[in-house]
Chain A
Amino acid sequence: SQKIEQNSEALNIQEGKTATLTCNYTNYSPAYLQWYRQDPGRGPVFLLLIRENEKEKRKERLKVTFDTTLKQSLFHITASQPADSATYLCALDLTYKYIFGTGTRLKVLA
């Protein structure tokens, strides 16, 4: 069956450390993969998009990797801050529609 899994429902890390979130998928062949941030009670906000022919993408403290052989994307937040606490969603771009993972709730402890 087709599914997307994000490594854990919740992740707690200490401020200043690097947070690594995982997105694994099966039976899809997306050309693009996106990451979103969602705060409680609000709509998701776009963070990064990576193409299938890109291995890595960076934006400030954020880094995304995309391994189409492993069918996996990793999302890193370096020098994490309490303000980074939120739920992070990965989304597969399947032409005309998107499929979202269940999300990982990140909490950065001061």
Chain B
Amino acid sequence: DGGITQSPKYLFRKEGQNVTLSCEQNLNHDAMYWYRQDPGQGLRLIYYSQIVNDFQKGDIAEGYSVSREKKESFPLTVTSAQKNPTAFYLCASSIIAGGRDTQYFGPGTRLTVL
């Protein structure tokens, strides 16, 4: 089955720790995205990547980092610099960057800082 997988589904982190969220896709999509969703708010873009070895900051990149070493993988690291990391994190991909295309979302990772 083609799709996007995110792991883990639930993640708990102690304050001051970095944590990495996994996102893998086997859809052969060029573009990948990370969003954060808080209760009562829409999806906010953290980082996006149009092609391997290239990525851009979204609207709320502070305290986060990403890498895109392989087409199918786009991990997100939540660093200790992120002031309020507890949220629902969603990874998505699309065939190409530049719109005109739907986004396919993973099941999400719910991160809780203890």
Contact = CB atoms under 8 A, between A and B. Distances in A.
Contacts of A34: 102-103
A93 B50 CA distance: 15
B45 A97 contact: yes
Nearest to A102: B42
Contact of B43 (A31, A44, A94): A44
A100 interface: yes
Contact of A44 (B44, B97, B100, B105): B105
Contacts of A44: 43, 90, 103, 105
A42 interface: yes
Interface string B30-56: 010101000011111100101000001
A42 B92 CA distance: 12
B42 A43 contact: no
B2 interface: no
Contacts, number: 63
Contacts of A4: 42
Interface residues of B, number: 29
Interface string A32-46: 101010000111111
A9 interface: yes
Contacts of B50: 96
Contact of B100 (A43, A89, A93, A101): A93
Contact of B99 (A9, A32, A42, A45): A32
Given A36-B103, A41-B88, A41-B110, 17 more contacts: A31-B99, A43-B90, A43-B92, A43-B107, A46-B104, A89-B42, A91-B103, A93-B100, A96-B31, A96-B48, A96-B50, A96-B98, A97-B48, A98-B33, A100-B42, A102-B41, A102-B42
28 contacts: A9-B40, A32-B99, A34-B103, A36-B103, A41-B108, A43-B4, A43-B90, A43-B107, A43-B108, A44-B43, A44-B105, A45-B105, A46-B103, A46-B104, A49-B102, A89-B42, A93-B100, A95-B99, A96-B31, A96-B48, A96-B50, A96-B56, A96-B98, A97-B33, A97-B48, A101-B42, A102-B40, A103-B42
